[in-house]
């Protein structure tokens, strides 16, 4: 189980003329990933999704908050001790074309980590060939056909399957998929997504799914929690279907409005909307981060910073900061908006609407 | 392996076509020069008191083509002689075959150029890796700066500086010629050859060191950011394996440059050999230009072309061995 409590990360830029400048990438992110569970993060480019993935794998450090793996607080450990925990968290990268070493065959790519892993757990390093074949079969590839090949001889989808097989060589407990299908042919996407879902159910590998694509998040994160990140802050959280079907934060609603519909079969939700202004990351505000772009912003929004509160049926939860959202059970639908309102923004099936 | 053989044959055929193109170009270039060298030589022979018949025969012997025949026939004759390995005879070395003169100068260019290139490649690439990995530290910055500075200094300045310091001031190394002794496989001769070659080799090496360093640095930096390196770090690979992954991928684009710079070094040899009074192809070419020895010039140009083409073919073939993406 992985728990993140108020993870923050701020980048310092040192411009030659503009002076030092702090860019907050994450402003306190909490989540809990149960064993074999799934957590999805959606948000637009630059919202901090990728930084979060890097922090979870140890490629990036966090400067505030705490990461707890199986009850052990990682910030208290030495770098060496921490590496052991991070080894159990592997990453599936976005670009399958740069994620594989172009000068090594699939056999060599899988062989090295398999032998290393066998030595680590006291297994038989000589058996790596069988293990490699087993892993390739697991990810849906034909071992005999793929093993002697170089990455450039494989298709994008096949490469991504090899990347997943390679991540599995070290027996990870968590996979971080950072935009794992955004660069893959649409026709291959579903295969990769169902493979990731399969790994969850068959091997009990939990999944952190980072994406900007609502539909893939819904497919993979089925039954898990969905976090909507805006400028490094979670603005809405809940069970994946709850958030997608009944979004209450205007930012989530804008994101979902941007999902293309199948014209002829679906029609746009009646409340579809878009931000009124483009993103400007330099604006610092004491109020809601989304206020400058929000179509429903009030004066209060510019002054008061909303915190995550549970969704009350009649808006009773609004402003009741005394409620600690951490105490709520998993899957509670929470949001950080002063004026939450349910709006219908996702596409509606035409037959269903007229019926 | 049949694929490799077919590739090799294809490359060789292509190389032959290129050599033919360059030979044709030099042939017509010589013909187009103001004061047709053949005619000039013919007039010279007449002035020396030869009969027109004798003079014509001499010119024919020297240039390998008959200068008063129509152009296409001259061209055909030149190519025919060339195919038999006959480059004509030198005019300034009175009657010595050009192939012979070039043949004796060739090793004194090829060996220093090659050793200079290899030394600078090894040092430059190693320094480039360090400069890339330590790019945010002071030493990395200094290394990169050294590359830029050395790459920016003109060849003749480097050559003259080395000469001034190591020969004129400190009397450590000799100057002029290839050796102080008669040729032969004995210790004093070989030692002297090495002593004489040190300064030219160092100049060649300094000439290209900066280029290697900067090219390797940028190549390594681009590989460092690749996802497969990050993924390997996640699996916990050793630093040695990581360096091997990076080096193997970063060095690939440099091989093409290596072949190209082999040709460029031949050009550089004109300055360097002249400065060190070293009797290689470069100083031979310079002398030929000075004495309007056109047969020697076109022979030397042709040889340089062949060398560059051969180096490129070799690099292409090496590429297929080291980069699996080029293989088919």
Question: What digits encode the pLDDT tens for the residues B55-83?
Answer: 888 777 766 655 567 778 878 888 888 88
Taking the complete model, does pTM exceed 0.90, yes or no? no
- CATH code of the domain covering residue A38: 3.40.50.300
Work out the average pLDDT over B249-270. Answer: 78
With respect to residue B89, please indicate whether it lies within any of the assigned structural domains.
Answer: no
Task: Please indicate whether, in this complex, the C-beta atoms of B323 and A103 are within 8 angstroms of each other.
Answer: yes
Query: Chain B contact for A90, CB < 8 A?
Result: yes
The pLDDT value recorded for residue B35 is 62
With respect to residue B129, please indicate whether it lies within any of the assigned structural domains.
Answer: yes
* pLDDT band, residue B98 (cuts 50/70/90): confident
Q: What is the ipTM of this complex?
A: 0.70
The pLDDT value recorded for residue A322 is 44
Same domain, A33 and A177: yes
Domain that residue B275 falls in: 100-322
For residue A114, what is the nearest residue in chain B, using CA coordinates? B235
- CATH code of the domain covering residue B194: 1.10.3720.10
Same domain, B19 and B109: no
Q: pLDDT by residue (tens digit) across A255-268?
A: 888 888 888 888 88
Residue B259 has pLDDT above 80, yes or no: no
Work out the average pLDDT over B174-201. Answer: 80
The pLDDT value recorded for residue A161 is 92
Work out the average pLDDT over A110-139. Answer: 88
* pLDDT band, residue A321 (cuts 50/70/90): very low
With respect to residue B37, please indicate whether it lies within any of the assigned structural domains.
Answer: yes
Work out the average pLDDT over A51-74. Answer: 88
Q: Is the distance from CB of B209 to CB of B150 less than 8 angstroms?
A: yes
Domain boundary among B21, B56, B83: B83
Residue A164 has pLDDT above 90, yes or no: yes
For chain A positions 146-175, those within 8 Å of chain B (CB to CB) are 150, 152, 163, 166-167, 169-170
Residue A318 has pLDDT above 50, yes or no: no
Q: pLDDT by residue (tens digit) across B139-171?
A: 888 888 888 888 888 878 888 888 888 888 888
Residue B36 has pLDDT above 70, yes or no: no
Residue A312 has pLDDT above 70, yes or no: no
Least confident of A113-117, A150-154, A282-286: A282-286
With respect to residue A234, please indicate whether it lies within any of the assigned structural domains.
Answer: no
Share of chain A above pLDDT 90, in %: 21
Same domain, A214 and A314: no
Same domain, B124 and B79: no
Same domain, A223 and A244: no
Domain boundary among A229, A255, A282: A229
Choose between A228 and B253: higher pLDDT.
A228
Q: pLDDT by residue (tens digit) across B298-328?
A: 888 888 788 888 888 887 777 777 777 776 5
The pLDDT value recorded for residue A317 is 44
With respect to residue A46, please indicate whether it lies within any of the assigned structural domains.
Answer: yes
Token pair 């994101």 is found at A255
Same domain, B272 and B181: yes
Domain boundary among B56, B83, B110: B83
Question: Residues in chain B whose beta carbon is closer than 8 A to a beta carbon of chain A?
Answer: 226-228, 230-237, 241, 245, 248-249, 252, 322-325
Q: What is the mean pLDDT of chain A?
A: 84
> Hey, what are B310's tokens?
């051969």
**Total domains, chain A:** 2
With respect to residue B94, please indicate whether it lies within any of the assigned structural domains.
Answer: no
Same domain, B49 and B165: no
With respect to residue B328, please indicate whether it lies within any of the assigned structural domains.
Answer: no
With respect to residue A16, please indicate whether it lies within any of the assigned structural domains.
Answer: no
The pLDDT value recorded for residue B104 is 85
Share of chain B above pLDDT 70, in %: 94
Residue B187 has pLDDT above 70, yes or no: yes
Same domain, B55 and B117: no
Work out the average pLDDT over A10-37. Answer: 82
Nearest neighbour of A91 by CB, restricted to B231, B322, B325: B231
Same domain, A84 and A214: yes
Domain boundary among A229, A250, A271: A229
Domain that residue A112 falls in: 2-10+24-229
Same domain, A164 and A303: no
Same domain, A73 and A91: yes
């Amino acid at each position: 189980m992985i728990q993140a409590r108020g993870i923050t990360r701020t980048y310092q830029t040192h411009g030659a003329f503009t002076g030092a400048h702090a860019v907050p990438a994450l402003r306190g992110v909490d989540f809990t990933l149960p064993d074999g569970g799934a957590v999805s993060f959606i948000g637009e480019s630059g919202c901090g999704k990728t930084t979060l993935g890097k922090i979870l794998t140890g490629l990036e450090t966090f400067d505030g908050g705490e990461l707890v793996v199986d009850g052990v607080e990682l910030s208290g450990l030495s770098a060496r001790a921490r590496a052991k925990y991070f080894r159990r968290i592997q990453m599936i990268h976005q670009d399958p074309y740069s994620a594989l070493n172009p000068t090594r065959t699939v056999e060599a790519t899988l062989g090295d980590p398999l032998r290393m892993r066998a030595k680590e757990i006291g297994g038989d390093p000589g058996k790596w060939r069988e293990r490699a074949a087993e892993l390739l079969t697991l990810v849906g590839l034909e071992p005999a056909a793929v093993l002697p090949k170089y990455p450039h001889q494989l298709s994008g989808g096949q490469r991504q399957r090899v990347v997943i097989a390679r991540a599995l060589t070290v027996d990870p407990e968590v996979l971080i998929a950072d935009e794992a299908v955004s660069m893959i042919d649409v026709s291959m996407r579903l295969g990769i997504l169902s493979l990731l879902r399969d790994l969850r159910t068959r091997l009990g590998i939990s999944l952190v799914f980072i994406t900007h694509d609502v539909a893939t998040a819904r497919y993979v994160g089925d039954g898990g929690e969905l976090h909507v990140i805006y400028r490094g802050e979670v603005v809405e959280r809940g069970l994946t279907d709850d958030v997608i079907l009944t979004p209450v934060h205007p930012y989530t609603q804008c994101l979902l409005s941007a999902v293309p519909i199948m014209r002829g079969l679906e029609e746009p939700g009646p409340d579809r909307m878009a931000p009124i202004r483009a993103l400007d990351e330099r604006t610092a505000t004491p109020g809601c981060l989304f206020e400058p772009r929000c179509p429903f912003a009030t004066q209060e929004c510019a002054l008061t910073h909303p915190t995550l509160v549970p969704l009350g049926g009649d808006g009773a939860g609004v402003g009741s900061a005394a409620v600690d959202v951490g105490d709520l059970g998993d899957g509670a639908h929470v949001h950080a908006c002063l004026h939450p309102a349910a709006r219908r923004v996702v596409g509606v099936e035409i037959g269903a609407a007229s019926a | 392996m049949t694929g490799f053989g077919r590739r090799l044959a294809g490359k060789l055929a292509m190389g032959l076509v290129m050599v033919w193109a360059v030979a044709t170009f030099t042939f017509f270039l010589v013909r187009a020069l103001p004061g047709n060298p053949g005619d000039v030589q013919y007039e010279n022979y007449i002035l020396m008191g030869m009969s027109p018949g004798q003079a014509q025969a001499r010119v024919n012997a020297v240039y390998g083509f008959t200068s008063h025949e129509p152009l296409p026939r001259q061209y055909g004759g030149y190519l025919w002689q060339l195919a038999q390995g006959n480059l004509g005879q030198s005019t300034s070395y009175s009657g010595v075959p050009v192939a012979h003169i070039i043949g004796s100068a060739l090793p004194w260019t090829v060996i220093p150029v090659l050793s200079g290139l290899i030394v600078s490649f090894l040092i430059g690439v190693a320094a480039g890796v360090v400069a890339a990995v330590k790019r945010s530290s002071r030493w990395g910055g200094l290394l990169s700066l050294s590359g830029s500075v050395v790459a920016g200094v003109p060849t003749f300045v480097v050559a003259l500086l080395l000469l001034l310091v190591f020969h004129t001031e400190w009397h450590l190394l000799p100057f002029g010629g290839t050796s102080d002794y008669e040729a032969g496989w004995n210790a004093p001769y070989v030692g002297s050859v090495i002593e004489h070659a040190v300064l030219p080799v160092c100049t060649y090496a300094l000439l290209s060191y900066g280029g290697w360093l900067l090219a390797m640095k940028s190549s390594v930096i681009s590989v460092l950011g690749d996802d497969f390196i990050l993924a390997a770090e996640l699996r916990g690979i050793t630093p040695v394996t990581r360096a091997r992954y990076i080096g193997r991928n970063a060095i690939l684009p440099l091989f093409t440059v290596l072949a190209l710079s082999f040709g460029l070094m031949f050009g550089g040899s004109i300055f360097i050999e002249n400065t060190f009074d070293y009797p290689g192809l470069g100083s031979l070419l310079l002398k030929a230009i000075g004495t309007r020895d056109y047969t020697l010039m076109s022979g030397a140009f042709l040889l340089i072309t062949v060398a560059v083409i051969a180096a490129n073919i070799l690099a292409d073939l090496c590429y297929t061995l080291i980069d699996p993406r080029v293989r088919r």
